[in-house]
């Protein structure tokens, strides 16, 4: 468990939960939150407290504010307990390439990102998450969720999951199809497992829902299996208990895979979780209440509504070999949760229709080898014609056809990943700006490198902007693996968002036109060798509770480090003191600004409150204290009132500058 998570857990258990013990509201004893027995290391907790009760007592109101503030900071996530299961069963490692096919609103995606960053000392894990959703507006909700975690390893894309394009990457100068180590297939469903909390299900549920969704669910699962690497693991899940959406989809997928897929036995992977095995026999019911036990009994006029894949396999030996009992059915009354279905599939070899994979044409390879690669390679413009994908059922689209449809386009600009050319894709949603990687010889970078004394190992080729013309206002960063994906797929992929904002333009400093951002500080910090001030816990408290404290207010050690620095962006670093067991037990890195006579922390409000809580201070709002810098220095601060930039913590990571974003709730619970 990372040190930061330990501190938050310690704060929850020793402060907030203890205050709830023996507390009564309206004569009723408040139930203290309990850890989920099946979630590792007590990192998930369950509470029955309603909003109404939370607001009736000062202690509960404080706990409620803690939950809201920490959720906004990305330190905790609130979601339905059972929806945490699929990411756990994926068994993600930091080097895994992950596809989340139906990702919005993003609670499972955030779990996957956390697993990639299991080692907080590695700023760029080798793995990444590509989070997809068919709904353009929900993609922005997904961006909001993912942005809280400040990861350079997440990309949000907007496609129909059933026909999500096959991507390719450059491997040693050759284009190869991208296969994912892990695929999360949390498909759209009727939601009958959510009826305890979702009143709409009671009003709108009919047996027709499952009959209409079954085909889509099977197409999405098939596409996920196609894109899964051999030896990889795919989790299929629904919040429905209807076998038409659950075992029927899995059985049909296993049958058409001809042995390429098998159900994994995960019965021992989540000790403490109560579940029922998957079922092997079921019937299909029409909207008017008519039951059918097999496809043979279905009259011809029902064949469009009811399909053969909705029934269990007839052959008993084949049915037994499928091991459908390995599926997990989580029932609401077993653990006071929603109803849920999970199946874990492992891919042993290629799907039958994908076995003969075409290699890239030799002429293309020779052409690539004749041109020496640079840090800003062109995308080479290989694209799949959308019409070619749409004209066939997804089950017939193999890697062979996709690789054969890749075409060259010599008009691409170096390092520029524009939006897809398809007019159909541009007709809805927001128009996204291109992703432009900084050229190797860009004059913008050397002053930054000199000012912050960046380590030679700094991967500057991974820096990008969102504009091809005019001044670059923000610099973003992605991992080298996502850079590879971006450069080689811009023509077939609609990217909504990727990258973490690491620098913002600011002209207050003569030495460097770009200041650091708090959201990118943990990514950049390992590469920065200057302008770092080591501060004490008391210094951190002063910096987070006062707007612009004078330099003299800091400890003598911090003052001596800061007094000779020129005006501009700085890093404030706190290291735990082993001699002080009561102090903050994890390192803290803050973005700051050295003014003429003062110093300030450049941290969004929720993160400010978070760090103060971790140090034992409960602040219900930002304090304004005396002894701050004079007004003329405030005007020279990195965020003057007239600045065209958005305040720190409000701009979304690598979002289109100037484009609005649909609002929405931050989570799904």
Give the residue numbers annotated as catalytic, written as ranges: 239
| Total residues found in the chain within this entry | 669
For 492, counting Cβ atoms within 10 Å of its Cβ (0-12 exposed, 13-18 middle, 19+ buried), the class is buried
> What's the CA gap between 331 and 361, in Å, rounded?
52
> What's the CA gap between 386 and 63, in Å, rounded?
51
Tally Cβ neighbours within 10 Å of residue 80.
Answer: 18
The answer to whether the beta carbons of residues 454 and 527 sit under 8 Å apart is yes
> What's the CA gap between 47 and 59, in Å, rounded?
15
- The torsion angles phi and psi of 161, rounded to 5 degrees, stand at -60, -30
Tally Cβ neighbours within 10 Å of residue 550.
Answer: 18
> What's the CA gap between 278 and 243, in Å, rounded?
9
By DSSP bridging, strand 474-477 and strand 495-498 are: unpaired
By DSSP bridging, strand 500-505 and strand 495-498 are: unpaired
- The torsion angles phi and psi of 536, rounded to 5 degrees, stand at -90, 175
Give the number of C-alpha atoms closer than 13 A to the C-alpha of residue 352, restricted to the C-beta side: 8
- The DSSP 8-state label assigned to residue 100 in this structure reads E
The answer to whether the beta carbons of residues 466 and 656 sit under 8 Å apart is yes
For 580, counting Cβ atoms within 10 Å of its Cβ (0-12 exposed, 13-18 middle, 19+ buried), the class is exposed
**Angle, vertex CA 249, rays to CA 181 and CA 279, nearest 5:** 110
Give 34-37's long-range contacts (Cβ < 8 A, gap of 24+): 36/81, 36/84, 36/272, 37/272, 37/273
> What's the CA gap between 238 and 329, in Å, rounded?
10
Rg (CA), the chain: 27
Question: Which of 450, 459, 448 has its CA nearest to residue 526?
Answer: 459
Q: From residue 229, give the alpha-carbon distance in Å to each of 76, 225, 282, 351, 402.
A: 32, 8, 32, 10, 17
Give the number of C-alpha atoms closer than 13 A to the C-alpha of residue 353, restricted to the C-beta side: 16
> What's the CA gap between 54 and 49, in Å, rounded?
7
- Give the DSSP letter string of 555-590: -HHHHHHHTTSPSEEEEEEE---TT-TTS--S-EEE
User: What residues pair up with 234 in beta bridges, in sequence order?
Assistant: 183, 345
Helices (H) and strands (E) in the chain, counts: 23, 28
């Amino acid at each position: 468990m990372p040190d930061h998570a330990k501190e938050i857990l310690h704060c929850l258990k020793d402060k907030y939960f203890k205050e709830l013990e023996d507390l009564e509201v309206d004569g009723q004893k408040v139930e203290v939150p309990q850890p989920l027995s099946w979630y590792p290391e007590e990192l998930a907790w369950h509470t029955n407290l309603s909003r109404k009760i939370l607001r009736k007592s000062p202690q509960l109101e404080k706990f409620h504010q803690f939950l809201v503030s920490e959720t906004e900071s990305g330190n905790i996530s609130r979601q339905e307990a059972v929806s945490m299961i699929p990411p756990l069963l994926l068994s993600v490692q930091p080097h895994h390439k992950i596809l989340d096919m139906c990702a919005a609103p993003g609670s499972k995606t955030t779990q996957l990102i956390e697993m990639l960053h299991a080692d907080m000392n590695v700023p760029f894990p080798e793995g990444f998450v590509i989070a997809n959703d068919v709904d353009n507006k929900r993609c922005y909700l997904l961006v909001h969720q993912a942005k809280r975690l400040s990861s350079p390893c997440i990309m949000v894309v907007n496609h129909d999951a059933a026909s999500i394009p096959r991507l390719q990457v450059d491997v040693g100068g050759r284009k190869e199809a991208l296969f994912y180590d892990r695929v999360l297939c949390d498909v759209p469903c009727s939601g009958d497992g959510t009826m305890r909390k979702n009143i709409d299900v009671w009003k709108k549920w009919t047996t027709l829902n499952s009959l209409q969704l079954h085909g889509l669910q099977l197409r999405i699962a098939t596409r996920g299996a196609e894109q899964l690497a051999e030896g990889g693991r795919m989790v299929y899940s629904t919040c429905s208990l209807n076998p038409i959406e659950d075992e029927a989809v899995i059985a049909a997928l296993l049958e058409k895979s001809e042995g390429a897929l098998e159900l994994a036995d995960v019965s021992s992977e989540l000790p403490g979780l109560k579940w029922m095995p998957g079922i092997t026999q079921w019937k299909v019911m029409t909207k008017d209440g008519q039951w059918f036990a097999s496809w043979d009994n279905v009259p011809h006029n029902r064949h469009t509504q009811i399909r053969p894949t909705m029934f269990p396999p007839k052959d008993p030996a084949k049915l037994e070999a499928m091991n459908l009992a390995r599926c997990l059915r989580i029932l609401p009354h077993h653990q006071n949760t929603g109803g849920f279905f999970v199946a874990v599939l492992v891919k042993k070899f290629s799907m039958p229709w994908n076995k003969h994979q075409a290699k890239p044409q030799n002429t293309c390879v020779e052409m690539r080898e004749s041109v020496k690669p640079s840090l800003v390679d062109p995308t080479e413009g290989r694209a799949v014609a959308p019409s070619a994908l749409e004209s066939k059922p997804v089950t017939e689209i193999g890697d062979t056809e996709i690789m054969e449809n890749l075409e060259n386009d010599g008009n691409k600009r170096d390092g520029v990943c524009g939006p897809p050319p398809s007019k159909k894709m541009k007709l809805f949603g927001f128009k996204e700006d291109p992703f432009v990687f900084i050229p190797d010889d860009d004059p913008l970078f050397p002053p930054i490198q000199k000012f912050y004394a960046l380590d030679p190992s700094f991967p500057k080729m991974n820096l990008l902007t969102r504009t091809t013309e005019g001044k670059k206002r923000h610099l973003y960063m992605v991992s080298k693996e996502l850079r590879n994906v971006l450069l080689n797929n811009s023509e077939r992929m609609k990217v909504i968002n990727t990258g973490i904002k690491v620098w913002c333009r600011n002209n207050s400093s003569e030495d460097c036109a770009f200041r650091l951002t708090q959201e990118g500080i943990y990514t950049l910090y390992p590469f920065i060798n200057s302008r770092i001030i080591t501060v004490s816990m008391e210094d951190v408290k002063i910096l987070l509770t006062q707007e612009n404290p004078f330099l003299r207010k800091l400890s003598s050690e911090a003052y001596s480090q800061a007094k000779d620095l020129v005006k501009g962006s700085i890093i404030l670093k706190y290291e735990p003191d082993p001699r002080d067991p009561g102090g903050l037990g994890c390192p803290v890195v803050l973005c700051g600004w050295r003014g003429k006579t003062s110093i300030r922390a450049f941290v969004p409000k929720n993160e400010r409150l978070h760090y103060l809580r971790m140090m034992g201070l409960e602040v219900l709002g930002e304090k304004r204290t005396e002894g701050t810098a004079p007004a003329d220095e405030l005007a020279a601060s990195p965020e003057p009132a007239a600045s065209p930039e958005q305040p720190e913590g409000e701009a979304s990571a690598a979002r289109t500058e100037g484009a609005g974003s649909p609002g929405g709730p931050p989570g799904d619970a």
